[in-house]
Amino acid sequence: MWRYLLRSCLLGLVGSFFAFAQFVSNEPKTAPLISASTASDSITEAGQLFRTGKLDAAGEKYQKIIHDTPNSPDGYAGLTRVYLKQKNLQQAFETISTGLEVADSAPVHVALGEVYFRQGKIQEAEREWVNVINSGNASARAYLGLARVTASVSMYKRSRTMISKAHELDPNDPDVQKYWMNTLKLPERIKYLEDYLSHETNDEAETRARMQRSLDYMKARSREPKRKCRLVSKTISTETNLVRLLRDANHVRGFGLAVAVNGERSKLLLDTGAGGILIDRRLAERAGLNELSQTRIGGIGDKGETGGYVALANSIKIGDLEFQDCAVTVLDKRSVMDEDGLIGADVFEDFLVDIDFPKEKLRLEALPKRPDDEPTRPIGLETDKDNPDSPEEQSDNKTAPAAPAKPVDTGPRDRFIAPEMKSYAQVLRFGHMLLIPTKVGDESRKLFLIDTGAFSTHISLNAAREVTKVHDDPRLRVKGLSGSVKNVYTADKAVLQFGNLRQPTQDLITLDLNSMSDRVGIEVSGILGFATLHVLDIKIDYRDGLVDFIYKPAPGH
């Protein structure tokens, strides 16, 4: 289940206060005459208000600009971004649609791309931004948009190029700054984030708090021995049993892994909807883990985030593999959803992950070798996203190593689709989350989260209302790391199609997933849970954003 985002920097503000549609209906047909310099000053002032988080004032300013100059593209683009920042997607769409009718130009198309992206219309968004750039408009936000698109399809080298171009064009845009600082090495990132947090920005208080916790962790990590989580066993592959997690004596609700943390045995839920390793306080105490920095953890549920801390485990053993110096998040509570904790499948990014539910096995194997992989990059568990330096830069071994025949390329690289993976489905990756295009009934494709940690398959309230009837169902209970969900609905039957599979559903559980979508920055229309996935052998290549589903029905079916 989408349970927690470790030390992540997320965007968005809650609230809505404008009634733009009503305002537009009262606009004069002819704009008052104002000077070009006055209009430019107003745009600059509104932009500054927006960037420093004064959204009410920025919205009012943009509305006045549109009133005085009804064909102002910057006015419509700016007001659209105010609504997006307030998480009012419908108002943002209506605003930019009006702008497109009366002020068709590059700024409007860039903002339209941002609305499309939030709606989950990736191809439409990309088209808008590509057309703007190809028309000769050097727009920082168009390059930023393309950076987000290319990163989501695992084109990381290309994404960094786009981020660098966006920063070159507008280094003062807070959104550009947040993406650009993640390209820096650890010491530079610490300094940059300290400076960023010393100024007013348009980030909500919760986001700034997350960024501050991320900064605290990076500072603490920089004081520790400079080693990334790394594989120390000689073998680079393993096969291990999945552990049944029971709802009652006769029903399996999920599968876990046997994981030894500093030699202490544990049972962790294997969760493709989570990121990193999360354990409870009891296991952390037995394993002798010491706090590096404070953090907050949250997910599905209405109670909000809960406290915890980040620690370093000297040893993590899974099957035949052992890893050392791995970051672990510890929950202050004494239990995590009735298990010792969770392990996000994304930690195995350096492996081809094969979750064979019918055979109850997890296999970790070497990924297909890239044509340019010489020498091989170091292998580890990806538990330390806020400690970006390469192993070579972090090594505390002062002995000069022998010069390799060819230096290791530690920078970002674009995805590689090996010949044997041509049949795999391409997914969009946002951090630890894998979103797969899923057709719901006869509607266009939506994005669903692949989530082995959620028992049931869910559809968002927004998507369900597009394809079928939705009913209140007070009997249903959905529980996550942040407690129970108060408002749960059911949707009439719908057919889900993802990868090469087709899954009829009846009485589909329906939730409001707006909070998840706002945090990720893109519309998440549903969750493919264990009830759907348990008959599949799922192979995941996190490195390249590829997933293969093999249907293995139970005997007699």
pLDDT tens, residue by residue, 387-399: 655 433 333 333 3
Determine the pLDDT at residue 295: 87
CA distances from 422 to 435, 437, 501 (A): 19, 17, 17
Q: Is residue 498 pLDDT above 60, yes or no?
A: yes
Cβ within 8 Å of residue 462, ≥6 positions away = 513, 514, 523, 525
The whole-model pTM stands at: 0.86
Q: Is residue 443 pLDDT above 90, yes or no?
A: no
Determine the pLDDT at residue 450: 97
Determine the pLDDT at residue 10: 27
Determine the pLDDT at residue 221: 86
Q: Is residue 12 pLDDT above 70, yes or no?
A: no
Say how far apart CA 273 and CA 298 lie, in whole Å.
13
pLDDT tens, residue by residue, 352-364: 999 999 999 999 9
Determine the pLDDT at residue 555: 59
Average pLDDT across the chain, whole number: 84
Are 202 and 13 a contacting pair, CB within 8 Å?
yes
Which of 115-129, 283-297, 396-410 has the largest mean confidence? 115-129
pLDDT tens, residue by residue, 311-327: 999 999 999 999 999 99
Determine the pLDDT at residue 104: 94
Determine the pLDDT at residue 456: 86
pLDDT tens, residue by residue, 500-544: 898 888 778 888 898 889 989 999 999 999 989 999 999 999 999
Q: Is residue 21 pLDDT above 60, yes or no?
A: no
Q: Is residue 16 pLDDT above 50, yes or no?
A: no
- Split at pLDDT 50, 70, 90, the class of 339 is confident
Which of 24-28, 400-404, 435-439, 508-512 has the largest mean confidence? 435-439
Determine the pLDDT at residue 101: 96
- Split at pLDDT 50, 70, 90, the class of 410 is low
- Long-range Cβ contact pairs of 482-487 (< 8 A, separation 24 or more): 482/298, 482/299, 482/300, 482/301, 482/302, 482/303, 482/304, 482/305, 482/306, 483/301, 483/302, 483/303, 484/301, 484/302, 485/300, 485/301, 485/302, 485/511, 486/302, 487/511, 487/512
Q: 447-484: string of b/e by CB count within 10 Å (b at 16+)?
A: bbbbbbbbbbbbbbbbbbeebbebeeeeebebebbbee
- Mean pLDDT, rounded, for 4-15: 28
pLDDT tens, residue by residue, 253-295: 899 999 999 999 999 999 999 999 999 999 999 999 999 888 8
Q: Is residue 131 pLDDT above 70, yes or no?
A: yes
pLDDT tens, residue by residue, 461-479: 888 888 777 776 666 655 5
Share of the chain above pLDDT 90, in %: 61
pLDDT tens, residue by residue, 414-434: 999 999 999 999 999 999 999
Please report where in the chains the tokens 């108060």 appear, as a residue. 486
Q: Is residue 197 pLDDT above 50, yes or no?
A: yes
Between 270 and 370, name the one with better pLDDT.
Answer: 270
Determine the pLDDT at residue 7: 30
Cβ within 8 Å of residue 359, ≥6 positions away = 537, 552
